[in-house]
Structure 1
């Protein structure tokens, strides 16, 4: 079938943008793919605009589609005019198309042109007429009319009767229907021809025309020669659509000049092509009163045409017909109907005001004021309703949106008509607010401290950072990274767990400083930083180390004491150092005598060995002493030194015996001289090395409690990291009286851990473990 196209562009206002309405025409039943018109050209768009703006048909897509490459509007489904518009003279389809960026709705009206695809059809295939032979020439007999779903020129246009000698056909065309009557042109003679068989053919106005036939059987009867006659051929009456069943509509009256049974009239509704009229009304056969039988609905039929037949009881009976037009009066019995044609699943929270969120139509089946509808939004929301075209509306943004405050809006749209009383309906439009990345990850605090014990295994989790992001989905997916690489620390990018890459030694490394950056997955991503300080906590993993001359393992040092020594005589001093710090490096000295009376004592803090009393004849001449040096760690570590104290008459007298060896002159050769010089040189160098080591590790005149210098490693944002040597010393100062001394331990440069505790030693010495050590004695 040929395509009939025509384009008419009408001005139309859509939201804040200017658009147009295009009118096309297309024949029904065209094949799929038939081009209706070029939408891009008529809407002043280019094919590139169609693709870029995602041009699509949103209403009527089951019948039409648009080619994004050519801009052509084409048929995508079967178009049956009779199914769409029934008997309406004009069949118009409204197609809605939408383009985005900016969002614009285009109205396209397609007029469906009828084609002659339906033949006229009679409701029955056979019609019987009983006509008396006394019927006068010119008498008319109403025949059933054929129905044709097509309209216009394709509807029923003419009838023809098969050739015969007695009847001619007369067609009367009204505004909405065509009545067919058969006119007697020659007197009937039952005795000559009791039955006449005719064919009635109905032709439509198509090219070529289609037809339908009806077999007419005329039975020629005798006697009754006067038909009933109505007072008028057309009756008009109005009925409210809420009329109850049984309500009186109209009383009809017909007269018959005959007498007896030939003058007794029976009324009946003539069944036409549609049976719904007989379902809505009924007529009393004797009185001719028409009453309501079914439910009247103005929205289904605004007017109902009835055909009433009056038939007498003669043999054969005579009949006549009249028309009754019942106008249905509308009442406000239909609430407005809201139909959402397009609803955005979500709208970004940073969208500008005026952005369209949803498109919807509002209709009311009632007429007049009962069908006039007004729309409004129930409650306070940042949206408003704009009327775009007739009963088309759009829901647009009318204020700032913030997903973190309100993530979903349930917008109640209320439509109210102007009827009395007015009816209304409400539809809830759900609008989800789409998140944009407008919130950066935030840490609870800008700084945090992490504590790890030294000697902890590599790979252990030492801390955790956690940031929160008010956004959702990808915008709230946080990854963690170290700013500036460190060889000692790494971080899990997903969980924020900080773990060590090696075991820490407090004596080498005391504190690490670095920054952790939390970055979300938004576009563009947002981030924030937290400064992390890792403090290494000291463990008691170093034993005390004795200094020369008591440092050689297994050796016994000999010291001399004169017999005349008074109480408090200085015998020797044992010194030791501990690589640990704080409480773990606080040393105490204890003396163990193998045998003999209690002659010697040692300062628990100084390590000085002195006599407790004067010598007596009962005392041994030689005393083996064992000095134990212990730290205060848990568990405590210790070292021992052996000292042999020999009691002599005089120190000057005993020295030659200890240091001089009688040699025979003749036995002292040159080789022995060289060997002696070498031994003395090596011994001197070794002694100087020990003295230098002791001087480096000991501070003050009395000796060192512990030297706790350790570097601080700091990571920089540029990716570099550096060491800074932070030295922590514990200086021990002694008075001339070892028993009365002050011990001052300087504090650590970082805050104490949560488990720090205050400890008292010997009843008077107090310090905070791992932080500050102070010992005060009597002066």
Structure 2
């Protein structure tokens, strides 16, 4: 397959680098000859990259190169790198050809870099630029004169390039081949014997170029040597110096001047050819052309007064004699100016930042405007196109100053794009614009601002000490230090200072104690935000903290009352029908809302299905009639759970004893009907307590309304009152829930009273 691996020293060097640096993508190099067949083996990529062959397909091995053609690919089953497209080294790279490639695998993603050197083969023959080469050699030439020949070109490189030249046998010329080390091989004809035009006017030789390939390839060129007659007169110009003047940007083909020379010889020896002499210091040959027969000089390229306002051209007049003879003259071409250059605006000095309180006339930058044209074409008028608080003033010559011409406000505009226009006085006038960006720096002219004058914060009761209750955030339109704010508490009350603290840098309000909703429901304080400007500016905000109820109180059993660890006993007759009232469980929860909503359940032992309890009423009743198989004593455990998250519960134990006669049942329990129609002593006490609390509440409410009407301030208060729940069967339960009363005040000294989102009563003066 003509694959050439790295030599042993280079292999050792690669191994050493891998050991020293543990690179996962060490440089691997392969070699393959150009023009090899598709599928040709290049190298074992999996082995060289230390990849598991069994994982190549699952990891999606891909070969990536920077070429449009995919010359190489990898076999996912064997890990072999092979040729995927026909490779033509001469098409890819003119010299040494090394293709950088990348192998990419996934899971995990890795990238390995390597290169493939495309080895040249001798697939191109040497060729000459022209199949024929013409040389004019005077018959008066002396033996030993040399005539350089065009070199042959071979697209191959190295040993496959041109290595030697051969000349067909003849009696007049020999071939001198020079191979100068790193230089290409060249050849010269050497005259060995004097020429005689009358005997042989034309000599044809065959020059053969041979490359160093194996087998070698060759190419030929026919050398035609015309033996010229002796020419003993030179052309003479009409004058040694010609002068011309043209405007710049004259179109190509325009005439500049015509030179003229005469030759006293006849025939070809008297026919003159005009040409330029390249002096290597002038670009006149690129700008002008000369007619070889008439001697007319015309514009060929771009003539620019600003680049070169004058050209000095050397013209040669050469006859066509057997041994051409030539003479020279000088042509001076002056380029006149036209208005073809717009003014160039450059900022030579610019103040990066201007304070927003900068005074009028403060210099912002220095501007230089240059027009390369001359006279009026280079005279410039400058102005500012935008409506900005700046103006431009002339300093001297083509230098200008950009100064402040109006008030600046960084908060309205932190930067200005000043468009400067410069127009020359040419015909037609030309202009250019430049945009200068001026940044405005901040001064402390804005106090911090809170989004709202009052902030409501809601905190769950029993929250851990140190919790962040709220993150204060004030906005300051200023920047940098003027925008850096510190926060502090303005309220110095002991309760506030012992309840909350604020982080002066972040604005985090942190609790210093765990709040209990049953003790305190709301409190208020003020926070001040102060910036770091000089002088500092500040603003305040009122913070209302509302404590949210948590389910932190378990239900309390009110009836039947029992000492801790004791069991209540209830008697029922054996003849009790289904639905017979056994007892009523009464419980209360100190929480509010759903946290105080209670439900009742029986935790009965297995096999007991004689009793049921009302989930919301707590009434314990029989489910069916007694049977002889039922036990005489039924121990029951009633579970009372609230509706909080998580739910809390309490239990009460009741032993239900089945007796034969109703006379054995205690009177206080047997007189309880299916529906309770009268209140017990406990109910009476509860009603008195509820009535007292209600009176106190309404008195407090009336006092609060009076105070608020005097202050004419928008606020609200919330109060809690016991709640009694009446059930459909006439029974009732007590819980310490919260009624929410919202009192709203307006500037017209009116208020609204809303109870738990229900009826809202408006009172106005």
Bin for the TM-score computed over the shorter chain? 0.3 to 0.5
TM-score, normalising length: structure 2: 0.42
From the CA coordinates, give the structure whose radius of gyration is larger: 1
Choose between structure 1 and 2 for higher RCO, CA contacts under 8 A separated by at least 6 residues.
Answer: 1
TM-score, normalising length: structure 1: 0.41
